[in-house]
Amino acid sequence: MIELLKGFMNGLFQPAIALTLTIVLVSALYKFRRVVTQNKLVASLVVASPLLFFFVSAFDENFWIQFKRPDNIPIAAMMFLVVFFTWFALKLAVDNDDRIRDGRPPKEAEPEEEEKVFVWPDLVYSELLCLLLVSILLVVWSILIPAPLEEPANPQLTPNPSKAPWYFLGLQEILVYFDPWLAGVIIPTFIVIGLMAIPYLDTNPKGNGYYTFEERRSEIFLFQFGFIVLWVFLVFEGTFLRGPNWNFYGPYEFWDPHKLVPLTNVQLSEFIWARWLGIGLPSFWLVREFFGIVLMLVYFIALPVWLASSFLRKYFEQMGLFRYVIFSHLLLWMVLIPIKMYLRWTVNLKYFVAIPEFLFNI
């Protein structure tokens, strides 16, 4: 019975299913925000779910092997903290949204909150308290769990799996689906540029200095999609679910280095020329990759134009041309990541455009 359950859970954590589930859960959290924040039972379940997962899973010996690695403990803690603070902010947002709907100001704008207090002692006191608590946490943690030290560095002996530092594991996961120049250089650059661009792209004047969801629905959802789904979830997957040869292993699966996973990835050009047209690949790269290049041009040039007159019309009008071009491209890059993942999982698509002649693959 337990084995069956473990098998079911391993299946549930298959990247395709787990990513979909994460998207669904984040959407559900915001969709059913009233139940999630106001029903005590549901609220406790949501907040405790990461703790429950790690606590119950720790009884499984295969999960325990990964979980007990000292460097993985902060990642487990992070899962809890991210869920807790997302929920907590949502609770404050729902309260404020209710107040605003009743025509009252948000809690942060109540007259008594506007009252001025002295920094000494009021703020200094809570800073000191925070400092003490964090110090205690850090000292106790450091005494209880020694920092690991592995074998001396040896360039001749590659460990399997070789993993980047944990906070970059989301990028290493994206490396499965994109060429290194995209996953390792372009996408990180766009993440940083995109984050820095947020204040200049967000033209919504509402929700400045107080928690709210209803006044900033799409902004908050977009940000959380990037943060929870494409960053935190992928870090979790890279840490706990990626084993030898970067193969997927369910949480309760043994990391067998001999696990064989068939690699049958197919280029878009092979789909079109070989499978559909049945005439084999043309030798000249421009002809061979013609369809892929057109597809990318459509995605990055025609699609934003079309979106400007349909789904994103509101944004286009608010932002103006220049900001809209930047916004739509950052958005399309972000959305390309899950699109590419799903295409890999469903039809084994390798690259849209593959020009090894120039080391250029998308």
Partner 1 sequence: MSWLGNLKEKVGTPSQWYSDFTRTPVWKSIFRHKLPNDPKNRALVVLTNVFLHLHPVRMRKQGLRVSYTWCMGGISFFLFLSLTVTGILLMFYYRPTAQHAYPDMLDLMESASLGIMREMHRWGAHLMIITVWLHMLRVFLTGSYKPPREFNWVVGVLLLVLTLLFSFTGYLLPWDQLAMWAVTVGSNMARATPMMGAEGPGMQLMQLGDVPLITAGSDVRFVLLAGRFVGEGALLRFYVLHCLGIPFIFVILLAVHFWRVRRDGGISGPGKGGKLAL
Residues 112-151 within binding reach of partner 1 (CB under 8 A): 112-124, 126-127, 130-131, 134-135, 138-139, 141-143, 145-151
Q: Is 157 in the site for partner 1 (CB under 8 A)?
A: yes
Alpha-carbon Rg for the chain, nearest whole angstrom, is 24
Which residues fall within 8 angstroms of residue 191, CB to CB, at 6 or more apart? 226
Nearest one of 160, 191, 173 to 333, comparing CA atoms: 191
> Alpha-carbon distance 266 to 252, whole Å?
31
* Closer residue to partner 1, CB minimum distance, 9 or 362: 362
3-state class (DSSP) for residue 360: strand
Among 8, 59, 167, 276, binds partner 1 (CB under 8 A): 167
Residue 245 CB, shortest distance to partner 1, in Å, is 13
- Our finding on whether 319 is near partner 1 (CB under 8 A) is no
Number of residues that bind partner 1 (CB under 8 A): 94
Beta carbon of residue 128, minimum distance to partner 1 (angstroms, whole number): 10
* Upper half-sphere CA count for residue 80 (Cβ side, 13 Å): 12
For residue 193, how many C-alpha atoms fall within 13 Å in the half-sphere facing its CB?
A: 13
In sequence order, the 6+-apart residues with CB closer than 8 A to the CB of 303 are 332
Rounded to 5°, angle at Cα 237 from 233 and 240 = 130
Contact 326, 197 (CB under 8 A): yes
Q: Among residues 145 and 305, whose Cβ is nearest to partner 1?
A: 145
Residue with tokens 């400007």: 308
What's the min distance (Å) between Cβ of 46 and partner 1? Answer: 17
Q: Please, what is the minimum distance in Å from the beta carbon of residue 21 to partner 1?
A: 21
Look at the block and give the residue holding tokens 């009743």.
Answer: 102
Output the smallest distance, CB 164 to partner 1, in A.
4
Q: Is 284 in the site for partner 1 (CB under 8 A)?
A: no
Least distance (Å) from partner 1 to the CB of residue 324?
A: 18
| Binding flag, residue 282, partner 1 (CB under 8 A) | no
Residue 302 Cβ vs partner 1, minimum distance, rounded to whole Å: 23
Residue 79 or 312: the one with the smaller Cβ distance to partner 1 is: 79
Nearer to partner 1, 148 or 280 (CB): 148
Q: Is 322 in the site for partner 1 (CB under 8 A)?
A: no
How many C-beta atoms surround the C-beta of residue 105 within 10 A? 14
Mark the segment that binds partner 1 (CB under 8 A) among 17-25, 39-47, 176-184, 304-312. 176-184
Among 180, 257, 282, 320, binds partner 1 (CB under 8 A): 180
Cα distance from N-terminal residue to C-terminal residue, the chain: 44
Report the residue from 78, 176, 281, 303 that binds partner 1 according to the rule CB under 8 A: 78
Please, what's the b/e burial string for 3-37 (b: 16 or more CB within 10 A of its CB; e: otherwise)? eeebeebbeebebeebbeebbeebeebbeebeebb
Q: Which of residues 190-219 bind partner 1 (CB under 8 A)?
A: 192, 195-196, 198-200, 202, 205-212, 216
Site for partner 1 contains 41 (CB under 8 A): no
